Amino acid sequence: YPDDALQDLLRNNHCSYDYIVKYRITETLEMTGKARKPFIIDTHYAKNMRRILAPVMSNGTLCAHVAAFEIQKSFEDEDLHAVDALAKACAVLLSTNHAGLIKSTLPCKDLLYNHIIHNIVDSSAFAELYPVFQGPISPYYHVIVIAPDACGRWTGTSLNALQRHIESRIGGSLAFCAGDEMIVLMGSHKKRNEAREEVLRALLKENNVRAGMSDWFSDISNVKEHYHQACDALKAGRALPKADELLRYREWFVSCFLNAVKEKLDLEPYVFPEIRLLATYDRERNTNLVHTLHIYIQNRMNMIEASEKLFIHRNTLRYRLEKIVELTGLDLNDGEAYARLALSLEIEGFLRQNALL
């Protein structure tokens, strides 16, 4: 496809409506609304690219349109008939399902909003709407909380447009706004979410925002608990400027836990004195022994994997570990001490990232 504009649309999975929005061809929408049958148009926004536009009417109202691009050969009469048939099929589907969709989706959003934001628990409403959730979103869920940038404002696409993009491009999702944040209930299949997460990550990057994502759950009445998980993950990730756009609670669990604990407990005494000694040594000699030990422990004391993560030769890693043992007397082969050392290193890293150490 030689058309640059079309290529951009294809790469970003934009639908034809997004084409209209992106290139501001308002007159095209007006023409589609006035038309009663498909017509061929050249908008001049994509070179040498004509398209057939056909209105999709539901109860006398324009609610969508079908667009067909002229790519490899010129349009013929049968192309107009085919697009017309497709538009009429869409109209039938909308007229039979659209009302039911609206009736089910809006109460779902209201129910979630009241439960999460206002702590209103309506067990009977959950029971009544549970089959609705089970349909498009089941069998499992994630709660996603999207917040504006560090300056407290949304950039790029507006909040409403982002909500529309999420619901149209991420199947089985409900999105609604609560103040300056957006809450999304996304359907999950536990391990089969890569495609949805990639679409979400791309939308977050386009709009310069981050999102916290809860662990998966199956009982919709637990949505508030997982909303807090998503908020906690978002809070933890914000301490690191280079963190990913999508912050999964599972991956940020330790930081979320320590954030909660530090509100009631001084964590500094839980950093082992050996780690404090290494941190002092690093500051005085501009070395990275604490980071080296942390990566070594994170990679299950595997020399090959740890050296690859540190981008150093195995012999260099071996030398650093020997220096750590020499300075601290730690026994890095003690399996029982492994978990304690790993937790203490996580606490040290958490305090350092939050400028508490």
Residue 182 near residue 164, CB atoms below 8 Å: no
H/E/C letters for each residue in 284-352? HHCCCHHHHHHHHHHCCCCHHHHHHHHCCCHHHHHHHHHHHHHHHCCCCCCHHHHHHHHHHHHHHHHHH
pLDDT at residue number 100:
42
Confidence band of 122 (pLDDT split at 50, 70, 90): low
DSSP-derived letter for residue 217 is: B
pLDDT at 231: 92
Strands 61-69 and 39-41: unpaired
Nearest Cα neighbor of 48 from 11, 75, 85 is 75
The pLDDT score that the predictor gives to residue 41 is 77
Predicted pLDDT of residue 87:
82
Tokens of 109: 């959003």
Dihedral over alpha carbons 259, 262, 264, 265 (to 10 degrees): 150
A 10 A CB-CB count for 110 gives: 15
What distance in Å separates the CA atoms of residue 45 and residue 14, rounded to the nearest whole number? 15
Q: Are the beta carbons of 354 and 239 closer than 8 angstroms?
A: yes
Mean pLDDT across 25-52? 67
Is 323 or 64 the better-scoring residue by pLDDT?
323
Q: What is the pLDDT of residues 151-177, one digit of tens each?
A: 556 654 567 778 888 887 886 788 888
Work out whether the CA dihedral 165, 167, 172, 178 comes out positive or negative.
Answer: positive
Considering Cα of 92, then 95, then 96, then 97, what sign does the dihedral take? positive
Query: What is the biggest distance separating any 2 CA atoms in the chain, rounded to whole angstroms?
Result: 84
In the chain, % of residues over pLDDT 90: 20
Q: Three-state SS for 3?
A: coil
Report pLDDT for 287.
Answer: 94
Residues 6+ apart with CB under 8 A from 249: 212, 213, 214, 215, 229, 230, 232, 233, 256
pLDDT of amino acid 99: 41
- The whole-angstrom separation of Cα 19 and Cα 42 is 13
How confident is the model over 279-334, as pLDDT tens digits? 999 999 999 999 999 999 888 889 999 999 999 999 999 999 999 999 999 888 87
